[in-house]
Amino acid sequence: MSTKKRRDSDAERVALVTGASRGIGRAIALRLAEMVSGVAVLYNRSRKSAEKTAEAVRARGAESEVYSVDLTDEASTAVCIRSAEERFGRIDILVNNVGPLKIVEWDCLETADWEGMWRSNLISAWMCLRAVVPGMRSHGGGRVVNLGYSRVEHLGAFDDIAPYAAAKSALLILTRSAARAEGRHGITVNMVSPGLIKGGALPPNRRIPAGRLGSFAEVADAVAFLVSPEADYITGENLVVAGGWKL
């Protein structure tokens, strides 16, 4: 059980985290468990890992349920989020963490590679966002955090991750578009963009000004800040957690 104290304003909030069975998603779910009353843990294949995340969330004092869903499927996504809303009564925080990376040289890409990266990194986030917004509006506000990557605003050349990079840059445009549209409803929409993280994919050249790799926990802390009361006036922003890499 964490010793971090929940704020009264957080006491009844519920978070939904996609891709929460492992890695950054799991770290985010556990960090938010220290702040809110409930965490919906979404996963695709690893039910055992998702259950372990939910158990760890409960050990930190929050309720938790796991939901198996293919977030590239519109109907399944809508049903899943509706089920979570019925179980917890509301969703106040959405973290779109799902976003697989596929490394393929650009001239070896197939149409399916482009479609897969865009559907899993961009369209899945849009479908989740669209599903939770009505409930957030009815409750007077909410927080959405989309996960990008550290170079999301650098429109450069990418020999082997072009579909992923393009989809994440499009996700930033979606983030800012939704932030502008939903601000009047008390909903903030931001992005957290990790750099090189221990346990993630690492390129050969990884000179980092900070002198080390980042951690899952540091990414989770950035998300926690953006959903906190202190970030109430921050929306449409991209918070890079990269130790100065690729500046």
Average pLDDT, the chain: 91
Q: What is the pLDDT of residues 69-122, one digit of tens each?
A: 999 999 999 999 999 999 999 999 999 999 877 777 777 778 888 788 899 999
**Catalytic residue selected from 43, 67, 149, 164:** 164
Domain limits, the chain: 8-241
Full DSSP string of 32-94? HHTTSSEEEEEESS-HHHHHHHHHHHHHTT-EEEEEE--TTSHHHHHHHHHHHHHHHS---EE
Do 191 and 146 form a contact (C-beta atoms < 8 A)?
A: yes
What does the pLDDT look like over 155-183, one tens digit per residue? 877 777 888 888 999 999 999 999 999 99
**Residue 164: active-site member:** yes
Question: 8-241 falls under which CATH superfamily?
Answer: NAD(P)-binding Rossmann-like Domain (3.40.50.720)
The percent of residues in the chain predicted with pLDDT above 90, rounded, is 72
pLDDT in tens, 18-27: 999 999 999 9
Half-sphere CA count of 245, side-chain side, radius 13 A: 23
Q: Strands of 142-147's sheet, edge to edge? A: 63-68, 38-43, 14-17, 93-96, 142-147, 187-194, 238-241
